[in-house]
Structure 1
């Protein structure tokens, strides 16, 4: 993040220090830039500020509940995530090249990749990479760049292009929100490009999501339900 972007974010944080929200147009006017510039600033930030429904607000504002804490998410619905990942593991085949998304939902999958299959894993998530690196026989590609501690993931300008260069057999995706009309969304804008690149590239796109995410809309939309081939969840996703 450059100095001007950091200065704008600091100014917006100060404006929202006591809570409340700003329209995107108001935030842009306050910083004397375009709305698109504010969106880019947010995409390169670490979740301190979020954009929801055209309004900018603090990510840690308890009234909105939009902040993402990976350590907290790790323990939420852990048993459900384990069961869902067991079902995802059943779809693996010898020689598969897999994309594994960031977050905590797919960690049981990364930690339990079968040792009797030769697999390649592509990920931009450090926690996923750490788990995969302990699995013998699995070839790991960790995509680097700027590190985002809130989600333990990386971002870079060429990440989407790099993902498209792989012959992905399956993309295992997670989402913080699944809505029948507004589609799939996540907390962080830097996750959108790698998710979309994996969806565009993989032969089969698999969404793994527990029931707590259904009906929610998070700040960064990355796909529609029609872009997914299979949904592994506890309950049917509404049409």
Structure 2
């Protein structure tokens, strides 16, 4: 068996075990360059497919590449911004608010008028980076271990800080919303912070685009009736779940 055939077999075995493998990991596994892996994948479309920088077995369109903040920011961006426009009316000046991580709420931050005075608590680098440019925002950034996939920090120190704060409103994001199975996200390290922020807040708002409706992701953190409003690009959803099952709610 020549070297190329050995690489193909090794990649096939890795995918049988792991379902999805990053290009860099595949190159390291086979001790070759990423270009060589790309060539092997391209020359064997009957065996392999790709999802961005991730390799999957051919014929597995049901699989999704692992969550990454950069890729998520490009998905449904118009709907995310519209959902944030609707959410902006729930944000009151001179309050202390929590803004969750993810690719949706960066739009909410961008929409905050420059003259609005707020204290904002967050734990994500992409959110904090935008808040720094707002002259009337007092920023509280929760610390902990940095997780690149979601550009967020997590750890006991973040929950301790939240315990010491009075929060008027929490704006949460999610990757899945299902009337029966609740609200979920991709990353388990986010769950304690999300739950604590909801617990400490007087009002709780979930902001997401409609592609998340009727989806269930790995990390459950709330039930749908835990929120004062669930806000999509169509505006607030009926909290009783009416018309959710289609996955689309009309304007």
TM-score for the superposition, normalised by structure 2:
0.70
Question: Given the alignment of the two structures, is residue 18 of structure 1 paired with residue 15 of structure 2, yes or no?
Answer: yes
Query: Retained in 1: the 8 A contact 2:144–2:157?
Result: no
* CA-atom RMSD in angstroms: 2.0
Aligned to 2:9: none
Matches within 5 A, 1:88-107: 88-107=87-106
3-state SS of 1:104 partner: coil
In structure 2, the residue matched to 1:110 is: 109
Deviation, structure 1 residue 69: 1.6
Q: What CA deviation, in whole Å up to 9, does each residue of 1:20-68 have, x standing for no partner?
A: 479xxxxxxxxxxxxxxxxxxxxxxxxxxxxxxxxxxxxx674431510
- Indicate conservation of the 8 Å contact 1:101/1:125, yes or no: yes
Q: Which runs of 5+ in 1 are unaligned?
A: 1-15, 23-59
How many aligned residue pairs are there?
188
Please give the TM-score of this superposition, normalised by the length of structure 1.
0.73
- Mark the runs of 5 or more structure 2 residues left unpaired by the alignment: 1-12, 20-53, 243-251
1:149 Cα deviation after fit: 0.4
Q: Does 1:232 align with 2:235?
A: no
Deviation at 1:181, TM superposition (A): 0.7
Instruction: Note if contact 2:142-2:157 (Cα within 8 Å) is conserved in structure 1.
Output: no
Match of 2:121 in 1: 122
**1:4-83 → structure 2 map (5 Å cutoff):** 17-20=14-17, 62=56, 63=60, 64-65=63-64, 67-83=66-82
4+ aligned runs moved over 2 Å, structure 1: 16-22, 60-64, 234-239
How far does residue 220 in structure 1 lie from its aligned partner after superposition? 0.5
Q: Deviations over 1:90-126 (max 9, x none)?
A: 2222211110000101001112212222101100000
State how far apart, in whole Å, the 1-side matches of 2:113 and 2:199 are: 26
Bigger radius of gyration among the two: 2
1:191 is displaced (CA, Å) by: 0.3
Q: Return the alpha-carbon distance in structure 1 between the equivalents of residues 175 and 206 of structure 2.
A: 11
- Aligned partners of 1:111 and 1:135 also within 8 Å: no
3-state SS, counterpart of residue 98 of structure 1: strand
CA contact 1:161–1:197 (8 Å) conserved in 2: no
